[in-house]
Amino acid sequence: MLSESQERMLLVVRPEGVDRVVDIVNRWSLHAAPIGRVTDDGMVRVLDGGEVVCDVPGPYFTDECPTYVRDAIESPAIIEARERSIDIVDLTPEHVGDTLLTLLGSPNFGSRRPVFEQYDHTIGTNTVVEPGVGDAAVLRLRGSKRGIATSIDCNSRYCWLDPELGARHAVAEAARNVVCTGAKPLAMTNCLNFGNPQKPAGYFQLDRAVSGIAAACAALNIPVVSGNVSLYNETSESAVMPTPMVGVVGAMEEVTRHVSMAAKPGDVLFHLSAGNGPVLGGSSYLAEIHGLTAGHPPAIDLEAERAVQDAALKLIGDGLVSAAHHCSDGGIAVAVAEMAIASNCGVIVNSDTFVSGRLDEKWFGEAPSRILLAVRDADVERTIKTLLPTPATLTEIGGIGGDAIRLGADADVPLAAVRAAFDGALRS
C-alpha cells in the first residue's frame, strides 16, 4: 500500500462496468483487477487476508490531513530582476526581419522535427493533426465521430519573474492551444518542477505557482484530474527555473471539423483578442536578443481569456475558421511566421492595425488572450457578425498569400529564409 511505482492508475468503476473495463485492459496486454469498493461509512479500511490492518477516517486523507506551512520569502535577486528597467533602444525597421529570423532559429522556437521524426507519432492511425502543424495534437476516437486534442505548456521565464502569474499563463496557454484546434478544454494535469521547497525562496515559488494554477482552473472551468511533482532540482549554486508544466485535454464532437495552423491562399487574417496589449517584460525577445530575463511579465485577465477562448470555439464550431494559431511567445511576428510555415504560404500584415509606436513591442511584445484566425473571404461578413455580441475584439489585420512575410512597411522576409531558420534551429 505504501510502495511507489510508475504506470499505475486507480479507476472508480460502476459495478456493472467492471467486466467491460477488465476486458478493455486485457485487450491491450495490460493488467487490471478489482481491489476494493466505495462505502458510505467514511472510513478507509485495508484488509490483508481478511485481517484489518488499516482503519482510518477518510477526512484524514483530505480536509483534515496533517499539514505544515513553511516560510515563503521571495528571492531578492528575482524581485530586483522584475523591477529592473527594461528601457532599451527600440528596433529600427531594417532590423525587424533579422530579429524575426534570429528568434525562429533559436532552440525555443525552431522546428521540433528532429525530435518527433524519431518516433512513430501515428500509432493506431488515429493521429489527425500531426506534430508541427497545429497548436495541439488531435486524435480521433475510433468508432465514433468524436476527437480529442492535447497540449502541454509553460513559460519558465514568466514563472521565475512571477510564479503565480506565470502559472496562470501556463494553464491559459495550454487551454488556448487546445481551443485553437476546435476542442473544448475538459481537464488538466501537471508536473511541478521546482527547486528545494524547504528553502524559503523555493517554497515561495511552489506555493505561488499552485495558487496560480488553482485560480486559472477555477476561472476557465478546467478541473485538475491529476498531477505530480519533481522537487529539489538544484545544485549548490542555483535551482532550476520554476516550471509548473501544464497539460490540457479537450474534446470535439466531430473530429472532421478540427482546424490546424495551415491557412490557404486568399484567406483573410484576423486578430482575436481581449485584455491588455503586448509588453516586453519577460519576453523571448528580451531573452534571445538582449540576454535579459527581466521586467514584469504581461498581466492576464482570466475573464478576458475565457471570452477569447469561447469566441474562438464558436467561430470554429460554426465552420467559419480555416486555420487558427495562438499568439504568445515571440509576439505577433513569430506567430505569423509559424502560421506561414505551416501554410507553406506567405502572410501580409497591415501594421496600421496595431497601436504600439515601438517596433519591438509591436512585433515581438507578448500578451495572453490573442489568437490569429484565418477566414475564407466569403465568410468574413458572417464572422464579424458572429463576434459582435461577445466581449472579444476581432480585428482584420491582413491576408494569406505570396512567398514572403510582410510586416507592414517594417519587414519583408522571404518565406524560404524563414523556413531555413526555423528548420535549422535544432539540426547539428
Q: Could you give the C-alpha distances from 145 to 140, 209, 314, 322, in angstroms and in order? A: 8, 37, 19, 20
User: What was the pLDDT predicted at 9?
Assistant: 86
Helical H segments across 249-407, by residue range = 284-290, 302-317, 331-343, 359-364, 380-387
Contact 105, 422 (CB under 8 A): yes
- d(CA 406, CA 350) in angstroms, rounded, equals 8
- d(CA 338, CA 323) in angstroms, rounded, equals 12
Q: Quote the pTM value.
A: 0.91
Q: What is the DSSP letter of 143?
A: T
- d(CA 129, CA 149) in angstroms, rounded, equals 9
Contact 301, 414 (CB under 8 A): no
- d(CA 272, CA 194) in angstroms, rounded, equals 34
The CATH code for residues 76-423 is: 3.30.1330.10
Residue range(s) of every CATH 3.30.1330.10 domain in the chain: 76-423
Instruction: Pull the grid cell for residue 274.
Output: 481581449
Contact 357, 303 (CB under 8 A): no
pLDDT digits (tens, 9 = 90+) for 311-345: 999 999 999 999 999 999 999 999 999 999 999 99
- Exposure string (b/e) for 310-348, b if CB count within 10 Å is 16 or more? bbbbebbeeebbbbbbbbbbbbbbbbbbbbbbbbebbbb
pLDDT class of 158 with cuts at 50, 70, 90 = very high
Contact 317, 182 (CB under 8 A): yes
Q: Give the strands of the sheet with 404-407, arranged side by side.
A: 323-326, 370-375, 268-273, 393-400, 347-349, 404-407, 411-414
pLDDT digits (tens, 9 = 90+) for 199-258: 999 999 999 999 999 999 999 999 999 899 999 999 988 999 999 999 999 999 999 999
